[in-house]
Amino acid sequence: MKTDEHVNIDNARPGVYTDVIKKIEHDKICPFCPEHLHSIHPNPIEEKEYWIVTDNAYPYKPKKEHVLLIHKTHMSNISELSTEAWNELGTIINDEQKKRNISGGTLIMRFGETKYTGASVTHLHAHLFQSDPDNKEYDKTKGILTRIG
């Protein structure tokens, strides 16, 4: 992957999401930079000082909640985060857990070279999600599957 690429199609989930990632690659934009996110993301966006909070437009399934936490400044590595950004992220996670009544969830943040992480977007972001084990599509042997690494 070239360093000027904002997405990695190889890591995109099959279907509509792959088509979206291909268009983003063609347009040569970063889908998570605020100047682009506002025009292409269909869900409401809440901006904090360092982070953007929004529901994932292409959530892992089956889920009860799938929140994206996107750093407002374009970066790809956690080593670039300030202490203040880390602190705000912790506050956001706690607030979202309470607000959404997430009684158990998972937090994933991939960083760096996407060939090692499984991320489809290089811009630093985290996923906060809660599965839905009561959903008929939920497979207890698999849970929610996504590529990590």
Q: How far apart are the first and last CA of the chain?
A: 15
Query: Residue 78's domain spans which residues?
Result: 9-131
145 inside domain: no
24 inside domain: yes
146 inside domain: no
**Could you give the number of structural domains in the chain?**
1
144 inside domain: no
Residues 6+ apart with CB under 8 A from 103: 130
pLDDT at 149: 62
pLDDT at 20: 87
Kindly give the confidence (pLDDT) of every residue in the chain, 149 residues in length, as a single tens digit, with 9 standing for 90 and above.
444 589 998 888 888 888 989 999 999 999 999 999 988 999 999 999 999 999 999 888 888 999 999 999 999 999 999 999 999 999 999 999 999 999 999 999 999 999 898 899 999 999 999 988 888 877 776 666 666 66
Place of tokens 């811009």: 123
35 inside domain: yes
112 inside domain: yes
pLDDT at 123: 96
The enclosing domain of 36 has a CATH number of 3.30.428.10
Residue 82 class from Cβ within 10 Å (0-12 exposed, 13-18 middle, 19+ buried)? exposed
34 inside domain: yes
